[in-house]
Amino acid sequence: MRTITFPAIVIVCLITTSAYCSLETGLIGHWRLDETSGTIANDSNGTNHGTLVNGPIWTSGILGGALNFDGTNDYVALPDNNPIWLPQNDFTVSAWVYFERDSVREFILDLNHGMSSAGTNRAGYGLERLGTGSIRFDMIINDSEETLDSSTILAKDTWYHIVAVRNGTAQQIYIDGVLDNSRTCLAGPVDFVGGYDDGNVQIGRYTRTGGPAGGNFLFDGSIDNVRIYDRALSGPEVQQLYMEISFPAISLSSSSFSFTADQGGANPTDQVLSIHNGGPNTINWDITYDCNWLTVSPLSGESSGPSEVNDVTLSVDITSLVGGTYNCTLTISDPCAFNNPQTVNVSLFVQGPEITLSSTSFEFVAGIGAKNPAIQTLGISNSGSVILNWIASEPCNWLSVSPATGSSTGEIDITTLSVDISGLAPGDHSCTLTISDPCASNNPQTVSVTLHIMDTSLPVSLYYDAQTYAYAWAQNPMSGGIDTDTDNDSSIHSKCTSLAYAYSLYEWYCAEFLRTPVWQRSYLQNSVEGISNSNTASVISTLHGWGNWESENICTSSRTSGNGGGDGDGYTSLTGQIAIGILDGFPANISGPVLTINASIIGDLPGQWNSWNWWFKIWDDDPNNPLVTLNGSNTTASLDVITGEILNIEFYHEAGQIVWPAAGLNSTVQINMELEMPPMPDPYRDWFCDLRDVAVLANDWPLCLDPCDPNFLPGDVTQDYCVDYYDAYWMFQSWLNCFVTAASNPDPYDNDGFVDPNAILSWTTIDNTIAHDLYIGTNSTAVADANLFSPEYIGTVNEPNFDPGPMDLDIEYFWRIDEVGPKCLVKGSVWSFIIAVDDPNLIALWRLDESSGTTANDSSSGNHGTVNGARWTTGQVGGALDFDGVNDYVSLGNPANLNFTGQITISVWIRPDLIPDDPSVLNIVAHGFAGSPTKEVYLRINNGMYQIGSYIEGSLNILSYYNIPAVDDGNWVHLVGLHDGSKWMLYRNGVEVSSTTTEPGAVTVDGDWAIGARGTGTGRFFDGKIDDVRIYDRPLSGLEIEQIYDNGISP
């Protein structure tokens, strides 16, 4: 054992036990004030962190660090005592203080204190120094002021340990570990209602701005190691608190070390951690850690002070380590040190191979029935050390990668990406290509591949990517002064004020100030038509400009004004493809149709702009050799096209600065593309025989060869024409025997999100279908690829319906029907539906799996939301929405079943792209807005914290919060906020992280719900991805929350 002698007290410290560990019991707040920087005073025992106001300065204290207050306006604001968190019955408050001025009235701690003689306004308790130099411990019980003053007069420039204890009817003050004074006080709880400070809890200040003698009493000096207990400490325990200054302190040269090395290379250079005793007496330290790549030597030692420094060597062995980041924590401990234990973080980065890609996204465009799009190439190389052995894998059957493996020491490996559109429906198809090497430091990397299949059953259709930019450019016509705003956006308000002079001979006249506020907008309007009764698609670009000016003569004080001039430049840029339809009666790759392109100028003439330019191009393979070019001097062209063909288009339109004094220009370029259809083929002479016309002959001719038979020979039927009626007849009759149409009209309908678990599956069948092969599963790809030997194959049914029996709740099912004919089979499309969640307390569930459109479906009760700007993307559970942090949000309205009070649970997956550490607020899910309407319920990010709570006008935010770990930035996190009737609680990744006892919970709000912003959609925009939003009108249990989290991270 060790014996430490301190002012007439013998302290015995056993190596296996911390003598003061028991002093953690009942400790509800502990502000060590050891941070050294920043504006947060952390509560090391809980979540009641303080905020530094007006700049108190971090300084050295009696135990580590402290805060120095200037006595003018500095203080630390702790969380308000509304709802109540301070103890009301037995309690202890403790602080080390250092006064820097002669005796004046100044407050050490204001604990929701109000001590006016106005009766109903008295509340709480406080600790202060009086003008006499005594310490006063004051509290309000049953509207009675219970006051105790110390016998000792405290001087300046000296550290004192002050403790105030309330134990039943005993009121006590201790100074430097010794009982200084005591008295008998009233029984009962401390009053916490109606205080002038409205629930304020403060270190270094007392305020009573609402009282008849209002004002502030501010502390001048240093405060260290503030504690609040919800029990009365005994005399020996108070003495033990005071004796902390006699305990040694573990002092470290650094709290973190980092090493770097190349995989397979030499070990990094050793580093040294220095340890010494930063307090009195002697420390006997030990180091423990758990990582096999780090060696620490020695593992123990002792130091009697700063002059006795113990050096510890940290050595790293990278043998067998692959590329990546490794972390290890050293724990340095001495049970007798007052700051026991201390930790040191050691990180190691091993530079292994590193995957570098030539591109992270590819786009293919093709048309139904047309040829596959051109092959594209991906370059893969190693930008790290040793050898990169990469593997490319993709989960979609329409994309092929060759080669799929390779190795690189730095050279670029080329792999080809090819697409097969067979069997794919029109629309967008997405695939994620994964490039991996388990040894790579950035393993894995992904490449997004998008395939857009255009519907070539339409006569002519467009697929495009349009951009519109503008910048304001104001010019003063009288003096040539210029004000330029070059930001690229579509709504610029630019003002120009310049000085204009007029002169005659050498005599100057009065100056005239010309103000030219101008604004300009340029935007694109696209109209794409390709339905069965139309054969025209159009591109329209309209540029608008407005301007006005005002001139003021400073001599005569006269003003003149007018319109025109000074407007900005803008342009429209469009690239894309145009698809030529596979027309009725013609297969793909048949020539004959003609595409006519006409351009026209609508509205104000181009000559009213200082500059005006446009052009339109169509090309096949080479953009430098277009098939068609239109511009201001050539506005019409014709082009022979082929059915199923995909052509590239590019359009550009610009206009610059309105000619003075014109104003309010509105000029449009419109490009119309019309497909001229050739005559229908002759039903008896062309190779295409119109079987509908020949069907009348069915009763006159016998059945001939079967075209489904592999031995079928067309005989005298050639690709040029049908010789006679007989040939057409037997072709038609034989086709009837094997012709089968795909199943259609599924019930439940495709993507239905509200299906009964006992639903009967049904569909429509026509033609010669004799049976139906049924496939059901929970994986879309597996169902699409399944055959008769796959687990998804349910069986063959004779009727177009099937009872699958009770299905699992909250599951998305995929199903497929293959129609079986006498001799042929038609593979069906994959349909999907979701079994409704049978939880009456699940009020809303937005899965955000739609992938397109502007509707976010509520699969629980039909409270569908409207997507404003957010982009569909891949989520943690299926799909998600990506919010830009500028103006994206989902408006949910204010349905009656979501406007409830009290108990509530909000569950959501988020992947934040921005976690601000300033007071910025980013709403995740919110009901209303504290400003208007004057109530709100929210789950949000605020000042570097997750927060769940509510707000009512006239009161403060009622919430629970948790400091956001750095690892959450850019990673998926599951958050749950709930109110169980008595407290707000926060869960992160299935684990409770914060709890605050407070009422009320949810409140009724006369305003909308929103995802990613205020309920009004006017601010507090979230930056990142949001997925799987759920709202319950009851508190979920910890087990239920853990289950939702586990479901989200399961593969």
Mean pLDDT of the chain: 78
Beta bridge partners of 67: 58, 223
pLDDT at 300 over 90: yes
Q: What mean pLDDT do residues 19-35 have? A: 78
Task: Report CA-CA distances (Å) from 378 to 359, 418, 432, 533.
Answer: 7, 11, 14, 42
CB distance 894 to 1008 below 8 Å = yes
Cα–Cα dist 725/683, whole Å: 10
Cα–Cα dist 479/477, whole Å: 6
pLDDT at 665 over 70: no
Q: Confidence band (pLDDT; 50, 70, 90) for 952?
A: confident
Token output for 471 = 């910048």
Tell me whether residue 755 is exposed, middle or buried, using C-beta atoms within 10 angstroms of its C-beta: 0 to 12, 13 to 18, 19 or more.
buried
Cα–Cα dist 55/58, whole Å: 9
Q: Report percent pLDDT > 90 for the chain.
A: 38
Lowest mean pLDDT among 166-170, 549-553, 894-898: 549-553
For residue 862, count other CB atoms closer than 10 A to its CB: 12
> In the prediction, which pLDDT does 611 show?
74
pLDDT at 970 over 60: yes
**Which is more confidently placed, 682 or 427?**
427
Beta bridge partners of 512: 500, 553
User: What is the value of pTM for the model shown?
Assistant: 0.39
Q: What mean pLDDT do residues 478-485 have? A: 39
CB distance 103 to 131 below 8 Å = yes
Evaluate the omega torsion of the peptide bond into residue 87 and state whether it is cis, within 30 degrees of 0: no
What torsion, rounded to 10 degrees, do the Cα atoms 417, 421, 422, 423 define?
130
CB distance 530 to 518 below 8 Å = no
pLDDT at 649 over 80: yes
Q: What is the pLDDT of residues 161-170, one digit of tens each?
A: 999 999 999 9
pLDDT at 740 over 90: no
Question: Cα-atom radius of gyration of the chain, to the nearest Å?
Answer: 39
Q: Confidence band (pLDDT; 50, 70, 90) for 872?
A: very high
CB distance 836 to 809 below 8 Å = yes
pLDDT at 187 over 90: yes
Token output for 635 = 């506005």
Closest CA to 464 of 543, 531, 372, 541: 541
> In the prediction, which pLDDT does 497 show?
29
Three-state DSSP class for residue 888: coil
Cα–Cα dist 255/36, whole Å: 14
Q: Confidence band (pLDDT; 50, 70, 90) for 116?
A: low
**Which is more confidently placed, 1044 or 761?**
761
Domains, the chain, with CATH or none:
22-246 (2.60.120.200), 252-351 (2.60.40.10), 364-454 (2.60.40.10), 462-676 (no CATH), 691-738 (no CATH), 744-835 (2.60.40.10), 842-1049 (2.60.120.200)
Task: Report CA-CA distances (Å) from 273 to 266, 281, 301, 303.
Answer: 22, 21, 13, 14
Q: Confidence band (pLDDT; 50, 70, 90) for 728?
A: very low
Residues in the chain: 1051
Closest CA to 539 of 429, 421, 669: 669
> In the prediction, which pLDDT does 18 show?
38
Burial string for 775-809 (b: 16+ CB within 10 Å, else e) reads: bbbeeeeebbebeeeeebbbeeeeebebeeeebee
pLDDT at 883 over 70: yes
**Which is more confidently placed, 425 or 517?**
425
Q: What is the pLDDT of residues 310-325, one digit of tens each?
A: 999 999 999 988 888 8
Lowest mean pLDDT among 11-25, 283-297, 1003-1017: 11-25
Q: Which residues contact 537 (CB under 8 A, 6 or more apart)?
A: 460, 461, 462, 527, 528, 529, 530, 578, 672, 673
Return the DSSP state at 767. Answer: B
Cα–Cα dist 733/1028, whole Å: 54
Evaluate the omega torsion of the peptide bond into residue 707 and state whether it is cis, within 30 degrees of 0: no
> In the prediction, which pLDDT does 306 show?
77
> In the prediction, which pLDDT does 426 show?
82
Task: Report CA-CA distances (Å) from 280 to 5, 41, 248, 336.
Answer: 10, 26, 5, 11
Q: Which residue has the tokens 């293919």?
A: 364
pLDDT at 982 over 60: yes
Q: What mean pLDDT do residues 706-728 have? A: 38
pLDDT at 498 over 70: no
Cα–Cα dist 364/378, whole Å: 14
Q: What is the pLDDT of residues 814-827, one digit of tens each?
A: 999 988 876 567 78
CB distance 449 to 418 below 8 Å = no
Q: Confidence band (pLDDT; 50, 70, 90) for 956?
A: low
pLDDT at 552 over 70: no
pLDDT at 957 over 80: no
Q: What is the pLDDT of residues 74-87, one digit of tens each?
A: 999 999 887 888 99
> In the prediction, which pLDDT does 295 show?
96
CA angle (377 as vertex; 373, 378 as ends), nearest 5: 135
H or E stretch covering 730? helix 725-738
Token output for 335 = 């049970």
Q: What mean pLDDT do residues 430-434 have? A: 94
Q: What mean pLDDT do residues 439-446 have? A: 89
Q: Confidence band (pLDDT; 50, 70, 90) for 589?
A: low
Cα–Cα dist 269/271, whole Å: 7
**Which is more confidently placed, 975 or 463?**
975
> In the prediction, which pLDDT does 523 show?
31
Per DSSP, the residues of 331-356 read EEE-TTSTT--EEEEEEEEEE---EE
Q: Confidence band (pLDDT; 50, 70, 90) for 212?
A: very low
Token output for 742 = 């795909």
Token output for 339 = 């700051």
Q: Where are the beta strands (DSSP E) in 691-743?
A: none
What torsion, rounded to 10 degrees, do the Cα atoms 623, 624, 628, 631 define?
110
CB distance 904 to 1001 below 8 Å = yes
> In the prediction, which pLDDT does 207 show?
78
Q: Which residue type is seen at 574? A: L
Q: What mean pLDDT do residues 133-157 have? A: 92
Q: What is the pLDDT of residues 677-691, one digit of tens each?
A: 665 443 332 322 333
Q: Which residue has the tokens 């055959």?
A: 787
pLDDT at 202 over 80: yes
Q: How far is CA 868 from the centre of its chain?
A: 15
Q: What mean pLDDT do residues 851-861 have? A: 86
Q: What mean pLDDT do residues 361-387 have? A: 86
Q: What mean pLDDT do residues 407-420 have? A: 92
Q: What mean pLDDT do residues 980-986 have? A: 92
Pairing of strands 752-755, 771-777: unpaired
Return the DSSP state at 394. Answer: -
Cα–Cα dist 281/171, whole Å: 35
> In the prediction, which pLDDT does 330 show?
96
CB distance 436 to 354 below 8 Å = no
Pairing of strands 445-454, 361-367: parallel
Cα–Cα dist 268/261, whole Å: 6
Closest CA to 925 of 905, 897, 896: 905
